[in-house]
Amino acid sequence: MRIILRILSIIAALGTGACGNPERTTVQANPVMPKEAAMLTQIIANTGVRVAPLDGVGADIGQPIIEAVSEALIELDIPAIAGQPLAGAHQLNGQASLSQGSIRIAWTLRRPNGEELMAFDEREAALSASAIQALAGRTAQAIAPLAP
């Protein structure tokens, strides 16, 4: 019986690494980039911009526009999301109207507390993919000057 216990204790010692020092591996996290003043904006304040669904048009017209605006903002290093709720974010609302194939959008950018930050209009003579991209780019450029 003693032999069996001794064998079991040797096996247990071998299994736990008692025969040598195990190598230690250190895992380093990616370093956090320091925030620079140029990277921060009045708009984002670590929250981003929610591009709300457009009022006045259906999702078939409005959704591609708000997605394009969101992408244009992201290209300008302004975090944005199209349509979905985003707690604590600035909100870009648009009231759209269609007339003979052209679109006019009255945009309003609001702070997270609901205070209006700016309002402006954009018009586009067509609803083609390139026209929507152009409209989105102009909209993002109108918001961008709020960055320091």
- For 88-122, give one letter per residue: b (16+ CB within 10 A) or e: ebbbbbbebeeeeeebebebebbeeeeeeeeeeeb
pLDDT, position 86? 77
pTM: 0.67
List own/partner pairs for 53-58 with CB under 8 A and 24 or more apart.
53/83, 54/94, 54/95, 54/96, 54/105, 55/93, 55/94, 55/95, 55/96, 56/95, 56/96, 56/97, 56/98, 57/96, 57/98, 57/103
Q: What average pLDDT does range 114-143 have in this prediction?
A: 91
The predicted-structure confidence for 68-99, as pLDDT tens digits, reads as follows: 999 999 999 888 999 887 778 889 999 999 98
Instruction: Give the number of other CB atoms < 10 A from CB of residue 32.
Output: 6
